[in-house]
Structure 1
């Protein structure tokens, strides 16, 4: 009994595992302690929209990277991009590309530290205490504002006075191998050290060896109780991502019929696991016509690789005083990216260095009369130096830039306990972002000047190679000054040089707020309602006419209920939400106002997002656990328009378009009324876990499945970007002694074997469409030990 009480007190202090002791008889549903509101509390007592995964759940579900999270959280969709780029969507709010000069819509934090670049989430998913996914804008308590939500990765912390550790390993098809472990050692009577490591590897899921995984990571933490009131914890981490990175397949291309003025989609005939570098794909690629150059494409340069390293140090200083608990969080992070990929149908080469420092200070006051408060300040300083090459054969874009962000914020949250069961909550945050961008894009277009039957025809024109800089282009290419053109031998083609320098600042100050009410209907039933605002700051693009874009805003209205019934054996949580999303940012490829192809972000309009989410856990017997999480989502764009320059052919889009009456050089594309992308109407996660006692051992059989209705996975709203309803099912059989010291399991994931498209990048030069897909069926064995 004493051990149980001690464990419970450690949980409340935030030192223990995320799962608290169960109720008497070990038959109830476990409580999970979170710190999403900057204090330790049970998820059932927190009036917020949150999903939580424990470290054991992450391990059992095989979630080793950010790309896997959407399998476990219905409100979350994760989209792999080119190379190290990963985009998160919560209830349809997110962004397709997160580069060095735009901010993510979903804030990712490791150990309480906001990470400015989504690429830095690599190597975090091991030896975690828990993972928290917050749904909706985080406008008051978190380091940087975000419109869609936040993901918090909380590492397991050192434990004072304890020698302990764990290790687990798995092996599966595609030569999949994983090994992770941790050891906790006491340092005297008032200190502890925890060391953890992780290695993950599997061969490529695509026929050309892409969509592989080669990750290594190390983490060290030291905790010291300097006095009964003062605790200091310091940590350092390193991770490396290698391999070839995500791969893609050619879905097909769009052919324009000038007589009818209509595009038709011609499928490639290739399977979704036929990688871009495979012989079949290279042969197909050579049938694609590059309109500006007047010849067919050449084989793709097969040089895909990732060589990305991430480093960080952070500390947490906690001082308990007479007025409350003061917490200080200093941190530094560094990333170095070197990645070449071909996912869009052309070669992207990202070389980038990111440095950030941050400092957060906050005070959680003790309750005074009916009031308790959290007060704090935050500072964030980030510098990104990037050199990008986007080599499309008929066009090469070279970008060199420095992006700097300094952000200052003051925040507070006040809770008024009007009675022991009724609380009013108010929060306010004032943020000032100062952004500076200095960069230049040099774009070279291999343009044919010869016309045959009204169509460019330069069959002998050489195509542009992949180079780190345009100064590396050699004969037969001659570099003309910006705005000029030089002949490419006697081929009839010329090399056009366009240049877009951008030197701009974007200062922005914004106050965001939260208002809420909580009522304890019974000791195990909470009713809550909140209104919260958030914004995502503006940014920059290296494209003429789109050099800057403005912030986007979201106001979220939520009403929910969290309940436990039947002697703590039934948990039913319900939530209804309405999000008002304005000045939405959309990043996409397109033609800039100088007629050059580029990647830029526009503010396109607003949308309304509403829905209901229900989460049920049923401990039918002490050996049977059933779970169901179901979300209904109604996302629709009320106003969604943007402009593109008029070209030789009309734009390829599933939306209505027309010439702009005020400017005949522009088309206005109108996607108003379309559903939000990455927004399936229904998402359901269902699970069943059955424990079979076998003497001194337990045999656990578990199965779970995720269902999603149709959804668009790209912003063009093309029929080929609409993915039909899908099921993905997993199963596991696990044997362990009742005291849980070791385990042995066999698993299979994606039993259906369906490769589901999750992203549809385009190759505009050839009017082609590619698919990036989910993993195929995988299976293997896993063993673990705790000591």
Structure 2
């Protein structure tokens, strides 16, 4: 867990429509560590009494750490790594499990939920990180209680709820370098004796961290909620939210290029000589780009189109109806969400032009029964219906891919969990979930390639060939381009180059069903010590790719073993939690760029093999004095692919990979690339978070000084396992100072983040058309001042 935000016993606000202000308190909680109430198991309970692998970050801690988006969560949770590859997507990796690209027709490995509602598209995670109660990060498969099955874990973002009978609010503001402005606030208004309205909003702005203005932020958001106790047993809460993301979005820098030596038959990496702060549309980068040779097109690249922007809007409405009966509590959660994406990004050194409309409806119904004999139980049903309408262009100048598609998903599930209270100290838990996923995909990918037919010294040479422009349809192509029919070829003027068109059409259903289960135990070793263990299965449904030979892929499966011990010692002043885990994957889905069966570059997912993930995590908090708090989290991770083998067609040059490869003995005209035994992507062996907080009493005021640091050992950030895609060990440290009255009515403070000023590589992307590499990096050192007030 993150460093606690206070030094005396306190409880999180109620969730699930019930008061938990005392239920979570430790028996010894007079003066001691905070208790945090979580709802990860669909019931309100102390995080220390929940027999699951979970990290919890409170709302105040998120504000203090400057978390304004999903991409910032990784610095709070050791098991979590997050990267942005351009556009609106935030890609999550939890203990080495994730997928490098999430498009409109594949499901994420890490389930993301907002206010109890599963979000089908990771693009929809923008503009939610304000006025939050907490964020819960569950590690491992969520195969019995959650809306959609997830193999790697779940992230639950839980906003603060309206509070009946209370007129209150807060406002927070900060200003820092890069002209960074952050504003957020909320007001809670009682409505009669049995209702409350809560309105919250947020605005974040900062200039780009790269020289061309990319990696900036322009986000604003608004949330409204109304809570009413219609009767003593019936509570209804309704909410709506809106957010908009503008600016340019994530950017990258040229790392270098791979030069192929025909004599030796190998690649040599040639660094670009540009710094990691130089964006791709900076004049220096544009000059470098024009030295990159575009292979079969026989000429160097044109400058990158500088029209990079985001114009993404997100809408949502949801309700929670809670009815307490003599037999138990019925919860009904209907929800609707809609996204409109319009963005151009260039992080991979080519332009991705995304226009997409996403709409989803969901309905979850749960019944939490009163104890029958020794048994507690939860029964539920879930319906999810999503439609995606996408128009994508991936404009690489020498190769343009145009995709138009519609994707429809309907998922049904029935689930239940039974707890047998064998004694006051021992509980056995069993869970089952049956899921049916029905998908229908209808899409067309048209790939256009500029191919040179002339050569000099056996090297293609068409220096006057016109390269393909950025556009949302190939119908926009103008002279000298003449659009050929699918599978056809036309000359490009008199340049000696040809325009080749390949088409992939996918129109088919994909239906899967799966029964997942969980078996576990909880044993109270002492009043403040919980021993727990579980075996749980999970699956992620299959999907589609618009690449020849990879049109569909199968589900992936996981079995996860967990054993943990949660403790409070020294009269609630020391917390020590330990967890060991062992995960087995099979038919693991890997999404990556590559050469498809037609010899064209594509983005596709395949079931590349299996992996074994094992390790341990330890978390400690100690209240040395009533004003001194120390914390530490350590994760050891051994995540490896036991089988990771895939094919690429044999071309003019060998595949660009750091893994061994050979001519396939089973598939003619293919290389077999074997990355078995390699560590999983984004899976550092060691991750260590350390924190300290000291409070000084100054009469009626207090001064709080806090610092934290995170250490990660080396890890690989791209699937090719090239030497340049390996990031060495890194440190990132932060410091905070706050001053205000003891009653917390107002505060002023200052902060500095990434004290070391290290731009750490978080993603490595390959521009295959030019055999070039780019890197996405974390923000540089940022600092500023802040102020806040509550009433």
Change (3 A) 1:689 1:714: same
Q: CA deviation at 1:82?
A: 1.5
Residue number in structure 2 paired with 1:624: 628
Residue number in structure 1 paired with 2:149: 145
Matched positions, count: 784
524, 529, 542: which one pairs with 1:520? 524
Change (3 A) 1:150 1:786: same
CA distance in 2, matches of 1:9, 1:464: 56
CA distance in 2, matches of 1:520, 1:12: 25
Q: CA deviation at 1:85?
A: 1.1
Residue number in structure 2 paired with 1:267: 271
8 Å Cα contact 1:11/1:18 also seen in 2: no
TM-score normalised per structure 1: 0.98
TM-score normalised per structure 2: 0.98
Output aligned runs, 1:293-312, within 5 Å. Answer: 293-312=297-316
CA distance in 1, matches of 2:437, 2:391: 24
CA distance in 1, matches of 2:14, 2:642: 49
Aligned partner of residue 239 in structure 1, secondary structure: strand
CA distance in 2, matches of 1:7, 1:545: 54
Residue number in structure 1 paired with 2:780: 776
**Does residue 725 of the first structure (1) align with residue 753 of the second (2)?**
no
Residues 42-73 of structure 1: CA deviation (Å, up to 9, x unaligned)? 00000000000111011001000000000000
Q: CA deviation at 1:13?
A: 5.5
Change (3 A) 1:29 1:446: same
Q: CA deviation at 1:17?
A: 8.2
Residues 230-250 of structure 1: CA deviation (Å, up to 9, x unaligned)? 000000000000000000000
CA distance in 2, matches of 1:122, 1:785: 25
616, 633, 640: which one pairs with 1:636? 640
465, 477, 492: which one pairs with 1:488? 492
Residue number in structure 2 paired with 1:509: 513
Aligned partner of residue 663 in structure 1, secondary structure: coil
Residues 102-160 of structure 1: CA deviation (Å, up to 9, x unaligned)? 00000000010000000000001000111000000000000000010000001100000
**Does residue 708 of the first structure (1) align with residue 741 of the second (2)?**
no
Change (3 A) 1:12 1:523: farther
Residue number in structure 1 paired with 2:764: 760
Residue number in structure 2 paired with 1:227: 231
8 Å Cα contact 2:404/2:443 also seen in 1: yes
**Does residue 357 of the first structure (1) align with residue 371 of the second (2)?**
no
Residue number in structure 2 paired with 1:339: 343
CA distance in 2, matches of 1:215, 1:84: 12
Aligned partner of residue 372 in structure 2, secondary structure: coil
Residue number in structure 2 paired with 1:102: 106
8 Å Cα contact 2:139/2:154 also seen in 1: yes
Alpha-carbon RMSD across the aligned residues, in angstroms, is: 1.5
Aligned partner of residue 668 in structure 2, secondary structure: strand
Q: CA deviation at 1:637?
A: 1.1
Q: CA deviation at 1:468?
A: 1.1
**Does residue 740 of the first structure (1) align with residue 749 of the second (2)?**
no
8 Å Cα contact 1:637/1:674 also seen in 2: yes
CA distance in 2, matches of 1:438, 1:303: 30
Residues 611-670 of structure 1: CA deviation (Å, up to 9, x unaligned)? 000000000100000000000001111111000111110001000000011233100000
Aligned partner of residue 296 in structure 2, secondary structure: coil
8 Å Cα contact 1:8/1:21 also seen in 2: no
Output aligned runs, 1:372-521, within 5 Å. Answer: 372-521=376-525
**Does residue 84 of the first structure (1) align with residue 64 of the second (2)?**
no
* Structure 1, gaps ≥5 residues long: none
Residue number in structure 1 paired with 2:117: 113
Aligned partner of residue 64 in structure 1, secondary structure: coil
Residue number in structure 1 paired with 2:3: none
8 Å Cα contact 2:11/2:22 also seen in 1: no
Q: CA deviation at 1:283?
A: 0.5
Q: CA deviation at 1:487?
A: 0.3
**Does residue 688 of the first structure (1) align with residue 692 of the second (2)?**
yes
Q: CA deviation at 1:580?
A: 0.3
Residue number in structure 1 paired with 2:607: 603
Residue number in structure 1 paired with 2:252: 248
750, 754, 769: which one pairs with 2:754? 750
CA distance in 2, matches of 1:8, 1:464: 56
8 Å Cα contact 1:74/1:685 also seen in 2: yes
Q: CA deviation at 1:504?
A: 1.5
Residue number in structure 1 paired with 2:285: 281
Residue number in structure 2 paired with 1:61: 65
Q: CA deviation at 1:591?
A: 1.0
CA distance in 1, matches of 2:425, 2:30: 28
Residues 352-375 of structure 1: CA deviation (Å, up to 9, x unaligned)? 000000000010001111001000
CA distance in 1, matches of 2:269, 2:14: 60
553, 560, 565: which one pairs with 1:556? 560
Q: CA deviation at 1:26?
A: 5.4
Q: CA deviation at 1:86?
A: 1.0
Residue number in structure 1 paired with 2:549: 545
8 Å Cα contact 2:320/2:331 also seen in 1: yes
Aligned partner of residue 760 in structure 1, secondary structure: strand
CA distance in 2, matches of 1:673, 1:238: 45
CA distance in 1, matches of 2:502, 2:681: 33
8 Å Cα contact 2:342/2:356 also seen in 1: yes
CA distance in 1, matches of 2:250, 2:550: 29
Residues 399-431 of structure 1: CA deviation (Å, up to 9, x unaligned)? 000000000000000000000100000000000
Change (3 A) 1:727 1:269: same
Q: CA deviation at 1:596?
A: 1.0
8 Å Cα contact 2:219/2:244 also seen in 1: yes
Change (3 A) 1:512 1:21: closer
Q: CA deviation at 1:19?
A: 12
Q: CA deviation at 1:582?
A: 1.1
